[in-house]
Structure 1
Amino acid sequence: MRKLIFALALLLPGMALAAGGNVHLDKANYDLSDKASLQRGAKLFMNYCLGCHGQQYQRYQRTFNDLGIPEDLAQENLQFTGEKISDYIERSMPAESAAQWFGAAPPDLTLVARVRGADWIYTYLRSFYVDESRPFGVNNTVFPEVGMPHVLQPLQGTPRMAEEEAMVDGEKVTRHAGIKTDGDGALSTEEYDQAVLDLVNYLEYTGEPFRLESESIGKWVLIFILVLFVFVFMLKKEFWRDVH
């Protein structure tokens, strides 16, 4: 009983993080079978995330082959520091420098989708807003007091917390009314949401590269078990026929 309680105590914080606390999480309708989306997500990760965040359990070669990206094209456009095609996807920033600049080394993102959940990541990357009191000038409604810059701001534009006036208990108050951008980003709101979804799709893939294959095999295993059950049931009836 003590071991069970101890195991639950370890699991509950992680489950709470994955659920996102009390913050509403938007649904991330990702599709692991969409190779184009996965390729766009890989491109976004390599260009905007890899400077700080690595994927130390994922190799370039495996990624490019799974996503249908020719190795010569990938090496030319998605590998920037002379790594070998067989290398793991390591961040460009030295861990010591990262810890000095950010207070702690940015986490590895190979398994982040399995830890946090796709909905959490999708909502988090769309919830930055300008906050001049923070070291990097931004905050996040999903992860308050966030310690990283909004690296996708050139795509989204400058996000600001909108406010509106409302009557509460007969008094006029000012309250938050969501996050809106000023339109100076390279993408529209819809295009940015799709770009974030592509990135989430890619992170879901790296969290479990065999997922589609496992699901496909699993269906055939269930069919085999069902057919085997029929034969076992018939064999059982044959053995017990004289007894009854």
Structure 2
Amino acid sequence: MKKLLALVCLLVPGLVFAAGSNYPLDHADYDLTDKESLQSGARTFMNYCLGCHQMQYQRYQRTFADLGIPDELGQEYLQFTGEKVFDHMESAIPEKQAAKWFGAPPPDLTLVARVRGADWLYTYLRTFYVDESKTFGVNNKVFPDVGMPHVLQELQGVPRMTNEMQMVDGEMVERYVGIKSDGSGELSASEYDKVVLDLVNFLVYTGEPIALERQAIGKNVLIFVLVLFVFVFLLKKEYWRDVH
């Protein structure tokens, strides 16, 4: 019962916040069979997200096994605070302290891709922009008034909303055309988009680690049913051959 209540508490706020913006979402063309992408996403998550956000339903060991990472390498490059390989991915930040800093405890991200959707996450991570009126100096087009800093800014650079003069109904008006980095980041725009896509891919994986196995089982079951149908049909014809 406690686990059910915890899951409801995780899902309901996410559904409410997800409906908070009508900003058009970009398609996240993720691929759960791409181990290199998943490994890249795991690396980004461990380095930039796990400090505040945990994954209390996901174990390091399961993640390493599914992503093709030897336990020794995973412990060396993806575990930074002395956790055991069989531990869950828990944040080191105290919940009360996090609530004081951010206004609310950072949500668990184990199921965030199932709650928000891959397209929402992909667009969200690419639509932070400078807003000096906010506590952390940034806002977000998908999640207005978001209460977190732009943790990937050192990769993207300083993102700013861009407006251009366009002709509308015979008049020149200033219209929003997107968000662009000032170029101070470690990555180019395309490279940053790839890092974000890999991170989203990893978050989709953690939302349902058994997804690929489930799909494979489903295909095998369908094949079995089709083969069984052939034999059942032939058996039916044999039984009813002499019935007039």
> TM (normalized to structure 2)?
0.90
SS in 2 for 1:47: helix
Q: After TM superposition, give the deviation of residue 183 of structure 1 in Å.
A: 0.3
Question: Unaligned stretches of 5+ in structure 2?
Answer: 1-10
Structure 1 equivalent of residue 92 of structure 2 = 92
Cα pair 2:165 2:175 within 8 Å, conserved: yes
Q: Distance in 2 between matches of 1:209 and 1:46?
A: 17
Q: After TM superposition, give the deviation of residue 218 of structure 1 in Å.
A: 1.2
Give the letter for the 1:83 counterpart.
Answer: E
Q: Distance in 1 between matches of 2:174 and 2:86?
A: 55
Give the letter for the 1:44 counterpart.
Answer: T
Q: After TM superposition, give the deviation of residue 41 of structure 1 in Å.
A: 0.5
Q: After TM superposition, give the deviation of residue 168 of structure 1 in Å.
A: 3.6
Cα pair 1:130 1:159 within 8 Å, conserved: yes
Report matched runs for 1:56-75 at 5 Å.
56-75=56-75
Report matched runs for 1:182-193 at 5 Å.
182-193=182-193
CA deviation map 1:143-202 (0-9, x unaligned): 111111100000000000011123444443322121010000000000000000110111
Give the letter for the 1:139 counterpart.
Answer: N
Residue 44 in structure 1 maps to residue 44 in structure 2: yes
Residue 125 in structure 1 maps to residue 129 in structure 2: no
Residue identity over aligned pairs, in percent, reads 71
SS in 2 for 1:38: helix
Q: Distance in 2 between matches of 1:132 and 1:49?
A: 23
Q: Distance in 1 between matches of 2:144 and 2:49?
A: 20
1:47/1:214 Cα in 2 relative to 1: closer, same or farther (>3 Å)?
Answer: same
Q: After TM superposition, give the deviation of residue 17 of structure 1 in Å.
A: 6.3
Residue 24 in structure 1 maps to residue 19 in structure 2: no
**Count of residue pairs the alignment pairs up:** 234
Report matched runs for 1:1-244 at 5 Å.
21-244=21-244
Q: Distance in 1 between matches of 2:159 and 2:104?
A: 25
Q: Distance in 2 between matches of 1:139 and 1:235?
A: 67
**What is the CA RMSD across the aligned residues, in angstroms?**
2.1
Runs of 4+ off more than 4 Å:
11-21
CA deviation map 1:91-116 (0-9, x unaligned): 12111111111111111111111111
Q: After TM superposition, give the deviation of residue 22 of structure 1 in Å.
A: 2.5
Q: Distance in 2 between matches of 1:85 and 1:32?
A: 23
Q: Distance in 1 between matches of 2:20 and 2:219?
A: 32
Q: After TM superposition, give the deviation of residue 18 of structure 1 in Å.
A: 5.9
> TM (normalized to structure 1)?
0.90
Give the letter for the 2:74 counterpart.
Answer: A
Q: Distance in 2 between matches of 1:229 and 1:21?
A: 49
CA deviation map 1:9-68 (0-9, x unaligned): xx9997786688532111111111111111110000000000111000000011111111
Q: Distance in 2 between matches of 1:54 and 1:12?
A: 18
Q: Distance in 2 between matches of 1:226 and 1:237?
A: 17
Cα pair 1:56 1:90 within 8 Å, conserved: yes
SS in 2 for 1:86: coil
Q: Distance in 1 between matches of 2:20 and 2:35?
A: 28
